[in-house]
Structure 1
């Protein structure tokens, strides 16, 4: 039996089982820990998912949640730190879509785009990806923290490159003396990047923003 058959069989065995119950069943958390996380979720003003809360409370690891989601959805799991991201795939998805839905395109094959996702049940994300790319979407699961990190790194690099082109356009278009046009263009780009990072961090309830060169 190959890996695909194993995932299919596991998916059939776990179909309809909620994530928390699945984690309890596999011994990753206790029933008491699940109940506590559910209480926190009910009392919370935001819409954090149970998997996020369990990791935040320290009851299980991010990998535990990803593996359980993979069983639920019947999807493969990839480690973004061990693969090479296809730049052609990245170019197909606007940064705003990647940030909003926490997705990362990793590979393009003919009419299919392979995309790392944090939430396999986010129908809106898949619809948005299909709309902006016009391609079939093949979702695979990855750690949310890794997706967030790689989205910031890869798309920031892309936006910086686009920003350099915008600087040239600004310099060519500015005819009156309004200061240093290169500096103005660079500042506009920085504002755009920081604004996107902050909005995403607020949405994800992040406590820190790390930017690596």
Structure 2
């Protein structure tokens, strides 16, 4: 896909062959998406890239900074999944969830989100940086349980005001603990 995308960007006169080669070399060494590497190198703006990808994939482009996100949408997709796939829930109408994606052609992500949420997924394209910024902004403002505990010497738990952060818990450790009977 990266080579095909790169060739299409060249054909559209948005980048040169040399710029594509340099971005692909960085992608081999450091990873990341081809488009993001082209933006980081200053060869194309995020706006031009998103506009091109919107036309290329035939999906609408969105500017996440213009959206007021319903906090209930954030409960549908865990922050870890949003970061891993670079996705962000934008809207829900009926049984359809509109999902901003850096790569709306990724059928596997769309299927995972559909399975996880039970909603049909309508992808839209947004820049990787705007999605990551939205994740940081919205999830950090909505996450956290406001319960706390103090373990007494007797082994009982007394609730007290405390905020758990996402980093306080490791889901894999909790599952392992459940399996071992320690939770």
Structure 1 segments unaligned to the other structure (5+ residues): 1-16, 196-213
Paired with 1:145 and 1:159, the residues of 2 have a C-alpha distance of 21
State which of 88, 107, 112 in structure 1 corresponds to 2:91.
Answer: 107
State which of 21, 36, 40 in structure 1 corresponds to 2:7.
Answer: 21
Deviation of the 1:79 alpha carbon: 0.8
Paired with 1:104 and 1:190, the residues of 2 have a C-alpha distance of 18
Deviation of the 1:182 alpha carbon: 5.0
Report the structure, 1 or 2, having the larger strand content: 2
Cα pair 2:63 2:126 within 8 Å, conserved: yes
Residue aligning to 1:192: 168
CA offset digits 1:65-102 (Å, max 9, x no partner): 22222222111001111122122322222222212211
TM-score, scaled relative to structure 2: 0.77
Structure 2 segments unaligned to the other structure (5+ residues): 171-183
* 2:33 equivalent to 1:62: no
Deviation of the 1:177 alpha carbon: 7.9
* 2:63 equivalent to 1:87: no
Paired with 2:25 and 2:167, the residues of 1 have a C-alpha distance of 39
* 2:106 equivalent to 1:130: no
Deviation of the 1:134 alpha carbon: 0.5
Paired with 1:159 and 1:148, the residues of 2 have a C-alpha distance of 16
**Secondary structure class of the residue paired with 1:65:** helix
TM-score, scaled relative to structure 1: 0.68
Cα pair 1:76 1:141 within 8 Å, conserved: yes
Report the structure, 1 or 2, having the larger helix content: 1
Residue aligning to 1:38: 24
Task: Tell me the number of residue pairs that the alignment of Structure 1 and Structure 2 aligns.
Answer: 166
Residue aligning to 2:173: none
Paired with 2:76 and 2:93, the residues of 1 have a C-alpha distance of 12
Residue aligning to 1:176: 153
Cα pair 1:62 1:143 within 8 Å, conserved: yes
